Amino acid sequence: MKRWVRWLIRLSVLMLVVGLIGLVALNRLTYRADVEAVAVLDMPEVHVSRNLIRLEPETHLGNVIIYQGGLVETEAYLVFASVLRDKGYRVFLPKMPFNLAILRRDAFSSIQAAYPSALPWIAVGHSLGGATLSFIAADDRMDALVLLGAYPAESVDLTHLTIPVFSIFGERDTVLNQSTLEATKPLLPTHTEFIEIPGGNHAWFGHYGEQKGDGQATLSRAEQQQIVINRIISQFE
């Protein structure tokens, strides 16, 4: 066997090993949905496909698309989604490659194309999911943008947006970079509503347990999420 062929085989094996190690590392770092969230999958109004989880309400008041936080399982937002569903909103949870929304940021437009609706489209992004939505907010047809423990990417300018924009974060969120949160405020429209949840933290926007480096919340997970839901609903009443 020629020397270059042997080296090519060795290189291929090395790349395969490195790739497998990377996948194992990502799997170990992923925040798993808790039991309460996973249980929502058994509800009849929940429809699961390869790339999407969809919750259908009895009557439609609007549509919500949720982009998950980085390395957080899609299913971790099912409890939050089910409450919105009970309020009359059709909710979509796109499944992202390796649980990283940035790798499939066009999911919003793909869902709109597959499920056309003249009712409001509300984009909700947690952490990295919020930053990802900021890349497409200027181009995609959304009727509101909700950033949860998130801020826009520093390379975008959303000051021209006329839709409602909400930046909602917990008082005790020590995962969110507060300096960057302040520095990126000028990238959002002047009508952006900034809401600090007293006693809230970063992980309580989903159902995946505690997050490394996060502060200790002094309110329940349900209370924190209800504050977000109430603000979304009141905007479109």
CATH number of the domain encompassing residue 44: 3.40.50.1820
- φ, ψ of residue 75 in degrees (nearest 5): -65, -15
pLDDT of 44 strictly over 70: yes
State whether 3 and 84 are in the same domain. no
115-120 mean pLDDT? 97
Per the prediction, the chain carries an average pLDDT of: 91
Q: Checking phi first, is residue 18 left (phi over 0); if not, alpha (psi -120 to 50) or beta? A: alpha
Q: Which domain holds residue 3?
A: 1-30
160-188 mean pLDDT? 98
Q: Is the pTM of this model over 0.85?
A: yes
State whether 9 and 84 are in the same domain. no
Residue with tokens 């808790």: 34
State whether 15 and 40 are in the same domain. no
Beta bridge partners of 6: none
Instruction: Give the pair of three-digit tokens for residue 13.
Output: 């094996």
State whether 10 and 48 are in the same domain. no
* Number of domains, the chain: 2
79-84 mean pLDDT? 98
pLDDT given for residue 6 in this prediction? 52
State whether 83 and 111 are in the same domain. yes
State whether 195 and 85 are in the same domain. yes
More confident residue, 28 or 229: 229
Instruction: Give the pair of three-digit tokens for residue 187.
Output: 């990238």
pLDDT given for residue 22 in this prediction? 47
Confidence class for position 139, pLDDT limits 50, 70, 90: confident
State whether 114 and 161 are in the same domain. yes
83-95 mean pLDDT? 98
- φ, ψ of residue 111 in degrees (nearest 5): -65, -45
Q: What is the pLDDT of residues 2-25, one digit of tens each?
A: 555 455 545 554 454 444 444 444
State whether 137 and 36 are in the same domain. yes
pLDDT given for residue 15 in this prediction? 56
State whether 15 and 57 are in the same domain. no
State whether 65 and 55 are in the same domain. yes
State whether 17 and 127 are in the same domain. no
Q: What is the pLDDT of residues 53-75, one digit of tens each?
A: 999 999 999 999 999 999 999 99
State whether 7 and 46 are in the same domain. no
Confidence class for position 140, pLDDT limits 50, 70, 90: confident
Query: Which is nearest to 54 in space by CA: 133, 110, 106?
Result: 110
